[in-house]
Amino acid sequence: MNKKYLKSCIYIFLLVALSGNPYFNLGGKTSQYLFSIFVIFLSLTHLSYFYPVNKKNIPFFIYIISFIFIFIVQRVNLGFLSFPSAIGFLLKITFGYIIIRYLNCSFKNYYLNILYIISLISLFGYSITLFGFDLPNFLNESKTTYKSIIIYTENVSDISQGIRNSGMFWEPGAFAGYICLLFLFYLGEIRILILENKFKLFIILLSFFTTFSTTGYLILFFLLIITILKEFSSKYRIFSIFLSSVLFALICIIYLNTDFLYNKVSNQLAASSNLGGEFSNSRFGSFVFDLHYIKKNPLSGNGFHEKTRYIDHQWLQGEELGHGNGFSNFIASMGILGLLIIIIFLLIYYKRSNLIFLVAFIGLLQGEQFLNFPLFLSLPFVFLYENNNSSSFNLS
């Protein structure tokens, strides 16, 4: 095992871990300081990624400066800006940029492998909890939401809904979302991906189905139908249309007759209509709540700090809310312009099936706070530095 390969494995693990593992939580001040020092050290180690300015790093600077502009507008418009929050946001992008650029065209392959390992471990952890055994907890004992052994997390906050697989992330829906992201990376090449990585994908999909994630299931079913239509229609057009239609009908039947899909969505919709604009941590309730703040500052948002983010609901300040909609929360925080920056960069550098990717990307945000983390914030760089001539799908 050469040093570059080992370094690449460490880098991809850190990027994924810092994108949702509770043990690597960046919420506390000490964690934020350590993360800042680490990113500065990483930046100095890879100084050539920033200086001199050239065509390879100009997209990064434009991306960063675009968000800095929004923070300046927030400072003028709101009369307040949380500099630690703004700097933390920019450091997350910088961290993701460094890792993705270092891995370059191999990023997708390393991501596949780290998900395979996470999935394999998660199936053991899930089986242990399923049979009633307790896992040790490496987190602070006061944290009652999670039980973590770092490489596997048991979310105990929704145990009433049954035991679900969170992988190494904070919530089963997050694990499902990161698995869906893998298939988005290979959209248009999924048939090749499957042929070259049958066992790995079997393990990944097995762990995916143990998440029982509503959003994850819907997104993956959507991608399945799109894949059949796109990758098989040239040779088997009539059959692919027929199979897609059958699958769509089957998905509808499963959705309408499965409690955690249809009933969950229906109950959340019904509950959100009776909230009267008050906060709810469900995806629909959160969306309705966020509309108030989106209307308040639609373009530049209300910032990340609770002082401005919840200025009209001061009793929520200081509370751990567990916000349920990453899409509306990001717009309420960074405005429509903030989301547009990410979308525009994705559309510029993602050369295949732009609309499909965009629909799935926005769909994933409906359930989880992915845009709080480095991986999703730096997604455009995955496609910017992707080598389209690479034919290697299996690192083994």
Average confidence score pLDDT of the chain: 84
DSSP 273-301: TTSTT---SSHHHHHHHHHHHHHHSTTT-
Q: How far apart are CA 282 and CA 269, in angstroms?
A: 9
Structure tokens at 16: 């994924």
Give me the mean pLDDT over the 29-52 stretch: 92
Is 345 within 8 Å of 302 (Cβ atoms)?
Answer: no
Phi-psi region of 277 (alpha: psi -120 to 50; beta: other; left: phi over 0): left
Q: What pLDDT is stored for residue 84 in this prediction?
A: 92
Give me the mean pLDDT over the 113-128 stretch: 94
Phi/psi of residue 255, nearest 5 degrees:
-60, -45
Q: What pLDDT is stored for residue 246 in this prediction?
A: 64
Q: How far apart are CA 192 and CA 387, in angstroms?
A: 16
Q: How far apart are CA 251 and CA 246, in angstroms?
A: 9
Q: What pLDDT is stored for residue 243 in this prediction?
A: 61
The pTM is what? 0.87
Structure tokens at 28: 């506390």
Alpha helices in the chain, H assignment, sequence order: 3-17, 29-45, 58-78, 83-103, 107-130, 172-185, 190-196, 198-209, 214-231, 237-256, 264-272, 283-296, 306-309, 326-349, 354-365, 374-377, 379-384
Q: How does pLDDT run across 258-271, given as a tens digit for each residue?
A: 665 555 555 555 45
Q: How far apart are CA 140 and CA 148, in angstroms?
A: 10
Q: Indicate the helix (H) or strand (E) that contains 172.
A: helix 172-185
Residue (of 136, 139, 140, 170) closest to 153 by Cα position: 170
Of residues 15 and 306, more confidently modeled: 15
Find residue 155's DSSP bridge partners.
146
For tokens 């200086």, the residue is 51
Beta pairing class for 153-155 and 146-148: antiparallel
Q: How does pLDDT run across 228-287, given as a tens digit for each residue?
A: 777 666 565 565 566 666 666 666 666 555 665 555 555 555 454 555 556 666 777 888
Least confident of 87-91, 133-137, 208-212: 133-137
Tell me: pLDDT of 388 over 60: no
Phi/psi of residue 148, nearest 5 degrees:
-130, 140
Give me the mean pLDDT over the 194-204 stretch: 94
Q: C-alpha angle with apex 114: 198 to 149, nearest 5 degrees?
A: 120
Q: Which amino acid is at 358?
A: L
Q: How far apart are CA 382 and CA 236, in angstroms?
A: 32
Q: How far apart are CA 31 and CA 305, in angstroms?
A: 17
Least confident of 24-33, 43-52, 71-80, 171-180: 24-33
Burial of 92 (0-12, 13-18, 19+ CB in 10 A): buried
Is 109 within 8 Å of 121 (Cβ atoms)?
Answer: no
